[in-house]
Structure 1
Amino acid sequence: MAVLQMVLLLCAGSSLAEEFFSPTVNIIAELEKLKSMNERIQKLEETLAKVLNENEALKTTVQDSQNKLESFQKENEAKKVAFSAGLLESGTGNTGPISTAKILVYKKVFSNIGGAYDSNTGVFTAPMKGAYYFRFKGHSHGGTTMAVSLLKNGQTQCSLHAWKPASNGNASNGIVLTLETGDQISTRLWQNTWVYDDPASYTSFGGFLIFPL
């Protein structure tokens, strides 16, 4: 029995050896295939890494573009500055005559783009440095002088005037001013004068940013 087992083992080993060293199995060729496959895998890994890096760079570029767009939109919105207002919010009547000059507060706001005009104080505050245009109009009834000045930081820039008109008096004026951020514009009624207003808004004040500087 032992002899038979030994013979069988020898036969099996011989068969395996013949199969391994068979001319049909080209070990060198198979190794070359494995090497080529490894090289292709390595190239794929390098390509994938490159794509991932490019994707991250693209994300950064897109984010930068979005940030610049948002900044441009905010800057563009900040450049939109314009307002227009009538003196009386409702009703009819004269303002003045008074013994001391006073700032006119225009309550009937038609537009206030950018929110730079304050209808509680009658003062426009420049939100940015730039060239601005302002205009103001006044109306009065006969017998009493009408006079209004436009002020920049409390200093007279230009005025309108109607000296004791026989019936109705109308006047208007306008000016282009270079303002710094925070400069304030208002109109002031002279002492011992008056203005009239009604729902037609004969007495009004307005202005807008022409361009930033």
Structure 2
Amino acid sequence: MSPIGRFVLLLCACCVYSQDFMEPSVNVLSEIAKIRSLEERMKNTEEALQRQSNVVTELTSTLRDVMNENAVLKTTLHTLQENMETLKTANEGSKVAFSASLLASGSGHEGPYRDVPSPLIYKKVVTNYGNGYDSNTGIFTAPVGGVYYFRFYAHCHADTRMAVSLYKNGNIQCSVFSWKPITNGNAGNGIILTLEKGDQMFTKLWQNSWVYDDPASYTSFGGFLLFPL
């Protein structure tokens, strides 16, 4: 090829390369738009992830609060159960009442004595909740401290002297008395007392006096707890 032909061919090739460079096959504006769209989607994704993270944090906090409340409720329930058991025990302990009459069967009298040997022993036990009364000694021993009510009755025949006193730990609290009635004599008395656990209550004849009883239970002794202390 002649030098002039080679020059013309080279000039054509340069024109082609120049055209390719000035008009590239890649659309730059379109690619920039795609990048911006991708950035926007990434931003939206990050915001969505942040919202989800916030929700998870709130749920975690709520779950923690629920667990704490559950622990408090368990503690409260346990305390209530303990209180119920305590109240149940206290309620059972507050059921104190007894009633007894002098003779277990038949009829007869007790006394008179120059020196009164011991408390009157009421052998016919009708009620003895709390097992405070001892029918072997005639003594009631308070199983719990509290305010109690006690009452006692005595009966005698004509022309006899009847006198009985109620004692707390050996100290007279109240009495009944009948001096040789024309027919039969009856008397009763009652009192409200504060007792400590272990305090003892009983009745005793006076010297040279006596009481009578039969299946009608004329002569009796009883009491009950009004409320514990």
Do they fold alike, i.e. is TM over 0.5? yes
Unaligned runs of 5+ in 1: 1-17
Partner of 1:176: 192
Question: Among 109, 112, 115, which residue is 2:128 paired with?
Answer: 112
Q: Aligned residues, how many?
A: 194
Matched, 1:57 2:79: no
Percent of pairs with identical residues: 56
Partner of 1:161: 177
Secondary structure, in 3 states, of the residue corresponding to 1:120? coil
Secondary structure, in 3 states, of the residue corresponding to 1:103? coil
Residues 187-207 of structure 1 deviation map (CA, whole Å, 9 limit, x = unaligned): 012343322211111000112
Matched, 1:72 2:114: no
| Alpha carbons of structure 1 residues 178 and 42: separation in structure 2 relative to 1, 3 Å | closer
Partner of 2:5: none
Q: Structure 2 length normalisation: TM-score?
A: 0.71
Q: Which moved more, 1:122-131 or 1:53-62?
A: 122-131
Structure 2: how far apart are the matches of 1:28 and 1:178? 83
Partner of 1:9: none
Structure 2: how far apart are the matches of 1:100 and 1:174? 25
Structure 2: how far apart are the matches of 1:51 and 1:181? 47
Structure 2: how far apart are the matches of 1:36 and 1:204? 85
| Alpha carbons of structure 1 residues 31 and 131: separation in structure 2 relative to 1, 3 Å | closer
Q: Which moved more, 1:187-196 or 1:24-33?
A: 24-33
Structure 2: how far apart are the matches of 1:68 and 1:74? 10
Residues 173-194 of structure 1 deviation map (CA, whole Å, 9 limit, x = unaligned): 2223333332211001234332
Structure 2: how far apart are the matches of 1:186 and 1:161? 17
Matched, 1:84 2:125: no
Residues 115-160 of structure 1 deviation map (CA, whole Å, 9 limit, x = unaligned): 3222222112234444332211111233432221111111222222
Unaligned runs of 5+ in 2: 1-30
Which letter does structure 1 place at the counterpart of 2:101? G
Cα offset, 1:87, TM superposition:
1.2
Residue correspondence of structure 1 range 188-199 to structure 2 within 5 A: 188-199=204-215
Question: Among 184, 206, 212, which residue is 2:222 paired with?
Answer: 206
Matched, 1:133 2:149: yes
Partner of 2:161: 145
Cα offset, 1:22, TM superposition:
8.1
Partner of 1:185: 201
- Cα RMSD, aligned residues only: 2.8
Secondary structure, in 3 states, of the residue corresponding to 2:77? helix
Larger Rg computed on CA atoms: 2
Secondary structure, in 3 states, of the residue corresponding to 1:174? strand
Question: Among 105, 108, 112, which residue is 1:97 paired with?
Answer: 112
